[in-house]
């Protein structure tokens, strides 16, 4: 007898990381390679966070706090919400996967936009739900009316990525509020706000107020982006206490390790550092957007830490390869659902300059 695996395996797309193959992390963070493919922070964690990591490492012989009590309390204080409404997990990806398992069964429906974050296509095969993908509108934003039109009595979960990965576009909180007003109460809406701190269009916390009005709204955030902790894997969700209990019930008990808990609990105390990181990111955003447009390419006004660049008649595969030859790693648009594009994350000024020089050479060389 040969071993057979579950049929759903064939429907799981598989995640391709943006990390250059065969490269050690030390090489990736050096000047050797401009790693602009994973929407990470180019800055290391705050020095106090590194100290907290070192302190926590000493107690690695013990299991972590399964309730992440300190971390959840700090998140609750920061956003002035009850601790029972804060879910934490091994990256916000784990919360997405857990939410789909906790909410969906075969026969349930799940709605999300496309192109959007590449983990969403995992949710239906894993949970048994039927997925409905809704195309973005012509301006590369979520078509919220079209998403509403797909909601039925069977819909259990809708995911809205705002700002959207990979297009870097955004809807204001008033638009989200108008959308929520039309969503029936039986549907949970996860507003994936992984990049929300980088948006300038409005206060990043504006959407959190909507939770008072809409108990079916979950705001999903992460320590992987603005806090520079992608390597430690901590995400959190502000939702109802029932949502938190459901996520906790399906994820493994010790999913956020002790070092990650300590790091995130320290990081969230440094709001000045966050503001500074955002300022630097916005300076790099302006630099890249201007540079890309001067080279004759189109890019939407980004509200995130990356740009989505339309390549016009240029060949995407050839261009990505030419950039890689010059040590610049970006994401090709096709696997992200947007052929004819690249997605470039903002790195240090040196890496961003190198990207623009390599882009110029690849287009005109």
Ligand X SMILES: Cc1ncc(COP(=O)(O)O)c(C=O)c1O
Positions touching ligand X (CB under 6 A) are 39, 91-93, 117, 161, 165, 192, 194, 222, 224, 230, 235
Residue with Cβ nearer ligand X (109 or 192) = 192
Residue with Cβ nearer ligand X (75 or 358) = 75
First vs last Cα of the chain: how many Å apart?
57
Minimum separation from the CB atom of position 91 to ligand X (A): 3
Name the pairing type of β-strands 217-222 and 235-238: antiparallel
Residue with Cβ nearer ligand X (187 or 336) = 336
Beta strands in 126-256 (DSSP E): 130-135, 155-161, 188-192, 217-222, 235-238
Residue with Cβ nearer ligand X (159 or 362) = 159
- Which residues lie across from 189 on neighbouring strands? 158, 217
The H-or-E segment that residue 66 falls in is none
Residue with Cβ nearer ligand X (306 or 355) = 306
Minimum separation from the CB atom of position 126 to ligand X (A): 15
Minimum separation from the CB atom of position 194 to ligand X (A): 4
Taken as a whole, the chain contains a residue count of 365
* C-beta of residue 194 within 8 angstroms of C-beta of residue 225: yes
Minimum separation from the CB atom of position 251 to ligand X (A): 13
Nearest one of 256, 250, 252, 220 to 102, comparing CA atoms: 250
Nearest residue to the partner ligand X, using Cβ:
91
Minimum separation from the CB atom of position 152 to ligand X (A): 25
270/227 Cα distance (integer angstroms): 9
Residue with Cβ nearer ligand X (154 or 274) = 274
Q: Strand, helix or coil at 47? A: helix
Minimum separation from the CB atom of position 39 to ligand X (A): 5
What burial class does residue 257 get, using C-beta atoms within 10 Å of its C-beta: 0-12 exposed, 13-18 middle, 19+ buried?
A: middle
* C-beta of residue 202 within 8 angstroms of C-beta of residue 170: no
Minimum separation from the CB atom of position 321 to ligand X (A): 23
Residue with Cβ nearer ligand X (278 or 295) = 278
Minimum separation from the CB atom of position 266 to ligand X (A): 17
Minimum separation from the CB atom of position 141 to ligand X (A): 14
The first and second tokens of residue 140, run together, are 């590369």
Residue with Cβ nearer ligand X (64 or 115) = 115
Residue with Cβ nearer ligand X (179 or 195) = 195
Note if the bond before 62 is cis, omega within 30 degrees: no
Q: What is the CB-side half-sphere exposure of residue 319 using CA atoms within 13 A? A: 27
Per DSSP, the residues of 323-358 read HHHTTEE-EESGGGT-TTEEEEE---HHHHHHHHHH
Q: List CB contacts of 144: < 8 A, sequence separation 6 or more.
A: 160, 171, 175, 176, 178, 179
25/31 Cα distance (integer angstroms): 12
Residue with Cβ nearer ligand X (206 or 363) = 206
Residue 207 DSSP symbol: G
282/188 Cα distance (integer angstroms): 32
């Amino acid at each position: 007898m040969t071993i057979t695996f579950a049929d759903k395996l064939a429907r799981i797309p598989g995640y391709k990381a943006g990390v250059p193959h065969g490269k050690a992390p030390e090489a990736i963070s050096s000047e050797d390679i401009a790693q602009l493919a994973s929407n990470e922070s180019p800055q290391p964690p705050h020095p106090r966070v590194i100290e907290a990591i070192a302190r926590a490492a000493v107690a690695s012989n013990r299991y972590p706090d399964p309730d992440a009590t300190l971390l959840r309390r700090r998140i609750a204080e920061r956003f002035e919400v009850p601790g029972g409404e804060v879910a934490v997990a091994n990256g916000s990806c784990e919360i997405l996967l857990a939410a789909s398992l906790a909410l969906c069964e075969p026969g349930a429906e799940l709605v999300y936009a496309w192109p959007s974050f590449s983990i969403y296509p995992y949710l239906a095969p894993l949970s048994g739900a039927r997925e409905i993908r809704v195309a973005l509108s012509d301006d590369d934003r979520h078509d919220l009316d079209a998403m509403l039109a797909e909601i039925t009595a069977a819909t259990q979960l809708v995911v809205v990525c705002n700002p959207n990965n990979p297009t870097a576009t955004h809807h204001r909180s008033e638009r989200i509020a108008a959308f929520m007003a039309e969503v029936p109460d039986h549907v949970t809406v996860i507003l994936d706000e992984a990049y929300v701190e980088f948006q300038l269009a409005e206060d990043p916390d504006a959407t959190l107020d909507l939770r008072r009005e809409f108990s079916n709204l979950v705001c999903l955030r992460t320590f992987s982006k603005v806090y520079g902790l992608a390597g430690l894997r901590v995400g959190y969700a502000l939702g109802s206490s029932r949502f938190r209990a459901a996520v906790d019930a399906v994820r493994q008990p010790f999913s956020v390790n002790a070092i990650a808990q300590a790091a995130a609990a320290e990081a969230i105390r440094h709001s000045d550092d966050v503001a500074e990181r955002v300022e630097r990111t916005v300076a790099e955003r302006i630099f890249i957007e201007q540079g890309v447009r001067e080279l004759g390419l189109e890019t939407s006004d980004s509200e995130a830490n990356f740009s989505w660049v339309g390549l016009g008649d240029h060949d995407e595969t050839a261009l990505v390869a030419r950039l890689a030859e010059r040590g610049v790693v970006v994401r090709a648009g096709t696997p992200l659902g947007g052929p004819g594009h690249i997605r470039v994350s903002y790195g240090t000024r040196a890496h961003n300059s190198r990207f623009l020089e390599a882009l110029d050479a690849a287009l005109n060389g």
